[in-house]
Amino acid sequence: MDWDPGSSYSIISTTFWRQIGSPSLLPAPKLKAYGDNKLKTKGITDVAVEVGGKMKIVPVVVMRNAEPMLFGLQWSEIFEMPFPKSVYSIRNIEPSSLKEILHKYQDLFDGKLGKIKAYEVNIHVRSAGRFCNF
């Protein structure tokens, strides 16, 4: 289950719903996904959920093919989960030019073969193998 506080409701798949005993469903609220796409729900039910040693009875929406299943905003608030800190500054970083990258990593782009030190390698060659000259 993915933590998604951007989702108003927590959502489980019909497969998981069957695994927990197919509790009776009530009509679910109409849900929309990103881009105003309507989601087809099977229904809503209450389930027992334990987070951090706290057990609560919480509502969950059941949907066919709900992958990944979502731990939504409602559960996050019920279990008083801390949200990530806000971002207060964003700065623009200029992209490096090809010349700068080639200069910075010149050892990688000098056209010479490199060496690996302190590492043992075994190469297995078929007895019927032939040398291929490019």
Of residues 38, 45, 39, the one with CA closest to residue 62: 45
From the candidate CATH numbers 3.40.1190.20, 3.40.640.10, 2.40.70.10, 1.10.287.3510, the one assigned to the domain spanning 2-78: 2.40.70.10
Predicted pLDDT at 102: 85
Q: How far apart are CA 12 and CA 44, in angstroms?
A: 10
Q: Are 25 and 5 in contact (CB under 8 A)?
A: no
Q: Where are the domains of the chain?
A: 2-78
Find the Cα–Cα–Cα–Cα dihedral 22, 26, 31, 33, rounded to 10°.
0
pLDDT digits (tens, 9 = 90+) for 5-59: 888 899 999 999 999 999 999 999 888 888 888 889 999 999 999 998 999 999 9
Of residues 10, 93, 87, 81, the one with CA closest to residue 52: 81
- In this prediction the pTM is 0.60
Burial 29-58 (b: 16+ CB within 10 A, else e): eebeeeeeeeeebbbbbebebeeeeeeeeb
pLDDT at 131 over 80: no
pLDDT at 134 over 70: no
